[in-house]
Amino acid sequence: MDEARLDASDQPRAELSSSSSDSPVAPTHEDPFVRAGSAAFGGPLGRHAHRGWSWWTPLRVLIGIALASCVLGYAQKLPCRSQPWAGGFQYSHACYNDLLPLYTGEGLKDGDRPYLDPHADGNGNATGEVEYPVLIGAAMELGAVLTKHIYPQSTRAQGFVDITWVLIAIAAVVTVIATALTVRRRIWDAAMLAAAPSLVLAMLINWDLLAVAFTALAMLAWSRKYNFVAGTLLGLAIATKFYPIVFFLPLFVLCLRARQLKAFSAALVGGAFAWAVVNVPVMIASPEGWARFYYYSRIRGADWGSIWYVFTRWFGLSYTTSSLNLYEAGAIAVAFAGIIWLALAAPRRPRLPQLCFLTLALFLVLNKVYSPQYVLWLLPLAVLARPRWRAFIVWQVAEVIYFLGIWMYLLGDPSGRNGKGLEFGGYAVALTIRDVAVLALCALVVVDILRPEHDIVRADGSDDPAGGVLDGAADIFDREPELYDDLVPA
């Protein structure tokens, strides 16, 4: 297998990173940004550093960091748990979340079951429909049941937030652990995820981290060559939030290039099976309630956070829902075609996380909905695709700017006529900064794909540590396939 090219300045780093096939890579050796920042803590890891057994293993440190981020995330939303929402309080304190409104609005406080039991909506109409896939509905019901048995009636709304936070915190820790184990020797890369500001700010807005956890577990299972299990976990992720379905595209293209379509088929069957197991019973019991998510997704207009919303407000463009869906689908199809071309034309087969990150990032930027919590979808993939701290921090700063911008904009109602909050121009700037940061990170990943010698994950001669059957597999476009003969899985 071709070794990644190293110049003279990189040689010490390569020697340190490849000195042991089992020892974790030290970030102060691999990343110049971390090396420079380590001066405040005694400098890079040296030859005399203690490397023996310690209770504080890298994984336990990462779990500790993740738990600290979860506590901070709860504290950041605490004002909205403790105070009534009036006069834009939830926006001025940037603590808005969907939990409290849905606990009341979906009838959970009255014991109604999502999809199954009718309740009055905000207009007084009877409905049992929940605008989320079924596993989020299950999480909502679980939180409501536990709240009913633990909290007195007077504080159940606040208790629902507490119970949901525990569930989401578990998902956050699972995501960090799965990501850390997926990167193997680069376990410290997961610290970017565990300490991400966007994890703190967005984790408790909605239940998205449940889908993120399933997806991270799917990536881990795939990296260990449990292909059917990986597909099953991905199917559960799709049954929680629909976005993970896009990952089957890069998985198919890479398996095609590596002659591993049997593995892809196993994952696809596993995904379809798991999705059907959790969806079909609800589909049979309440067809209209089950279909609400898909119907709402189709009729939804250009929403906050999307470039289509900016086009509507800034340039005065207007579209019917059907035309918007057509433009959105066309833009995403073009982007996906470009990803397929990149995957097949790259001089060396891209790593799976690289292509998954690009697919999801472009899907989000071109989607008609880009809610603040969607940043959580990208976090684990960004860590796996390009574990460089400098670019990651720049992206996180942009996400924080947008996080503050959206709430200040909504504080303005968002007409801007009440003298509060941020006017549309300022909000559009915050949105543009976020999107440009995401696209810049995509560009850096593309550079790593086209010039794999600059990919830090491959700097020690690795191929695709998260790739499972793709790692070290033959490449149908390689000009010297005999170099891979001894690496093709039996």
Confidence of residue 107 (pLDDT cuts 50, 70, 90): confident
Domain assignment present for residue 294? The answer is: yes
**pLDDT of 36 higher than 60:** no
Domain assignment present for residue 456? The answer is: yes
Q: Note down the domain range covering 166.
A: 62-487
Q: Span 384-406, mean pLDDT?
A: 97
- 421/235: higher pLDDT: 235
Domain assignment present for residue 8? The answer is: no
Q: What pairs with residue 119 in β-bridges?
A: 127
The structure's pTM equals 0.88
Helix 261-285 vs helix 248-257: crossing angle, to nearest 10: 160
Count Cβ atoms below 10 Å from residue 382 Cβ, excluding itself.
26
Confidence of residue 55 (pLDDT cuts 50, 70, 90): confident
Contacts 24+ apart (CB under 8 A), 360-364: 360/243, 360/246, 360/247, 361/438, 361/439, 361/441, 361/442, 362/332, 362/335, 362/336, 362/442, 363/243, 363/246, 363/332, 363/335, 364/438
Q: What pairs with residue 126 in β-bridges?
A: 120
Q: Span 326-349, mean pLDDT?
A: 96
Count Cβ atoms below 10 Å from residue 409 Cβ, excluding itself.
23
pLDDT tens sequence across 131-143: 899 999 999 999 9
**pLDDT of 89 higher than 90:** yes
Domain assignment present for residue 334? The answer is: yes
Q: Span 73-78, mean pLDDT?
A: 97
Domain assignment present for residue 182? The answer is: yes
**pLDDT of 246 higher than 90:** yes
**pLDDT of 33 higher than 50:** yes
- The predicted structure's pLDDT at residue 53: 55
Q: Do 183 and 189 touch, CB atoms closer than 8 A?
A: yes
- The predicted structure's pLDDT at residue 318: 76
Count Cβ atoms below 10 Å from residue 311 Cβ, excluding itself.
16
**pLDDT of 18 higher than 50:** no
Domain assignment present for residue 32? The answer is: no
**CA gap 240, 278 in Å, rounded:** 10
Domain assignment present for residue 441? The answer is: yes
Confidence of residue 418 (pLDDT cuts 50, 70, 90): low
- The predicted structure's pLDDT at residue 489: 41
Q: Do 64 and 185 touch, CB atoms closer than 8 A?
A: no
- 126/426: higher pLDDT: 426
Burial annotation 142-173 (CB, 10 A radius, 16+ → b, else e): ebbebbbeebeeeebbbbbbbbbbebbbebbb
**CA gap 413, 399 in Å, rounded:** 22
pLDDT tens sequence across 152-172: 998 999 999 999 999 999 999
Q: What pairs with residue 120 in β-bridges?
A: 126
Q: Length of the chain in residues, anyone?
A: 490
Q: Span 82-99, mean pLDDT?
A: 92
- The predicted structure's pLDDT at residue 123: 52
Q: Exposed/middle/buried for 199, CB within 10 Å: 0-12, 13-18, 19+?
A: buried
Q: Span 285-309, mean pLDDT?
A: 91
**CA gap 40, 26 in Å, rounded:** 16
Total number of domains constituting the chain: 1
Tokens representing 147 are 């709240």
**CA gap 452, 455 in Å, rounded:** 5
Domain assignment present for residue 421? The answer is: yes
Q: Do 258 and 475 touch, CB atoms closer than 8 A?
A: yes
Count Cβ atoms below 10 Å from residue 139 Cβ, excluding itself.
20
- The predicted structure's pLDDT at residue 25: 65
Q: Span 216-224, mean pLDDT?
A: 98
Q: Do 5 and 458 touch, CB atoms closer than 8 A?
A: no
pLDDT tens sequence across 198-207: 999 999 999 9
- The predicted structure's pLDDT at residue 51: 52
Tokens representing 417 are 């006529």
Count Cβ atoms below 10 Å from residue 451 Cβ, excluding itself.
13
Residue type, 202: A
DSSP 365-394: HHSS---GGGHHHHHHHHHHH---HHHHHH
Burial annotation 176-196 (CB, 10 A radius, 16+ → b, else e): bbbbbbbbbbbbbbbbbbbbb
Q: Span 461-483, mean pLDDT?
A: 81
- 306/490: higher pLDDT: 306
